[in-house]
Amino acid sequence: MVSPYLIHLFVFIAFPVIFSLLLTFNQWNIIGPMEWVGFGNWKRVFADRLFWTAIFNTLIFLAIHIPLQIIVALALAEFLNQNIKFKGFFRAAFFMPVVVSGVVVTMLWQQMFNYENGVLNRLLISLGLGKVGWLIDPDVAMASIAIMATWKNIGLYVILFLVGLQTVPKQYYEAADMEGASHWQKFIKITVPMINPTIFMVFILSTIGGFSLFIEPYVLTGGGPLNSTLSAVLYIYKQAFEYYHMGYSATLGVFFAFLIVMVVILQKKFIERDVS
């Protein structure tokens, strides 16, 4: 019964992981023979400025994407949790980008972000403001990608928060009403602490998702301008499939995977400490 799983486990997970570790000590262009280089690849990782730029860019992306996603998703979920009509319509609208391929979303936003005549800049001009170089200004480009990624994923997190909000016992709000608490006070003092587990879950899910950022910069900017949107996965992809540095690319992959696991473990530690 479990044999399909075991075969899959050995061929596509266990063997690749071991092979990956082996590759990190070799230089290989996939066509010729493998060449043992000892710790050469590992030394290169630490000296590779561009890779650290890519890690830094990915962290910048997360630093914008995660707070934006949590705040906006929580706000929208709180709005939807009120006694309002057309709840189903709003929920369906927010959720639509979640089901659509990232490629479509990216191509769409490429036009929205267009400097000359994109919808966003035309809107800014009609409001009497200046144009923004959404994708051509190195200081702005990663933020633009973070906004787009938030737009794509937020519907899912609105739903998760809605589920969380519905678990908050009504008595708490009734008690607060008796004491004359305002909407905002109730939200900060009751809602947020009660749905903390959901907030943490969203935090960790968006961290893991954010670290795999690839298709958005690949289609939108190719990593530019001035490598400002080069994400770690995009760099690993380029090392393997543009330069055919298989050993080095595998080293980057292993290192980056290790980094992700460390970050997630640290987050969990902090969260558990905070909760207790």
Partner 1 sequence: MSIIKKTILYILLTVAALSFIYPFFWMIMASLSPEAEIGSLVFFPSRITFSNYISMVSKIPIGRALFNSLLVSGINTGVALVFSSMVGYALSRMEFKGRNLIFMIIIFTMTLPFQITLIPNYIIMVKLRWVDSYLSLTVPFLINTFGILMFRQAFKGLPQALIDAARIDGCGDLRIIFTILWPNIKPTIVTVGILAFMGSWNEVLWPLIVIRDEQLMTLPQLVTLFAVGGRAESQIGVKLASAVFLATPIIVAYLFFQKHFIQSMASTGLKE
Region 131-160 residues binding partner 1, contact defined as CB under 8 A: 151, 155-157, 159-160
Cβ distance to partner 1 smaller for residue 53 or 207 = 207
Q: Does 249 bind partner 1 (CB under 8 A)?
A: yes
Closest distance of CB 235 from partner 1, Å: 11
Sign of the four-CA dihedral 132, 136, 137, 143: positive
**Helix (H) and strand (E) counts in the chain:** 15, 2
Cβ distance to partner 1 smaller for residue 97 or 142 = 97
Q: Does 61 bind partner 1 (CB under 8 A)?
A: no
- Residue 247, burial from CB neighbour count under 10 angstroms (0-12, 13-18, 19+): buried
Cβ distance to partner 1 smaller for residue 82 or 171 = 82
- Residue 133, burial from CB neighbour count under 10 angstroms (0-12, 13-18, 19+): middle
Q: Count interface residues toward partner 1 (CB under 8 A).
A: 86
Q: Does 271 bind partner 1 (CB under 8 A)?
A: no
Closest distance of CB 22 from partner 1, Å: 9
Neighbours of 57 (CB within 10 A): 24
Closest distance of CB 47 from partner 1, Å: 20
Residues 167-186 within binding reach of partner 1 (CB under 8 A): 183
Closest distance of CB 226 from partner 1, Å: 19
Amino acid (1-letter code) at residue 4: P
Query: How far apart, in whole angstroms, are the C-alpha atoms of residue 153 and residue 94?
Result: 9
Q: Does 218 bind partner 1 (CB under 8 A)?
A: yes
- Residue 152, burial from CB neighbour count under 10 angstroms (0-12, 13-18, 19+): buried
Query: How far apart, in whole angstroms, are the C-alpha atoms of residue 6 and residue 8?
Result: 5
Cβ distance to partner 1 smaller for residue 107 or 139 = 107
List, in sequence order, the alpha helices (H) in 179-245: 183-186, 192-194, 196-211, 215-220, 232-241
Residues 87-116 within binding reach of partner 1 (CB under 8 A): 89-104, 106-112, 116
Q: Of 66, 141, 230, 246, which lies in the binding site for partner 1, with binding defined by CB under 8 A?
A: 246
Q: Does 201 bind partner 1 (CB under 8 A)?
A: yes
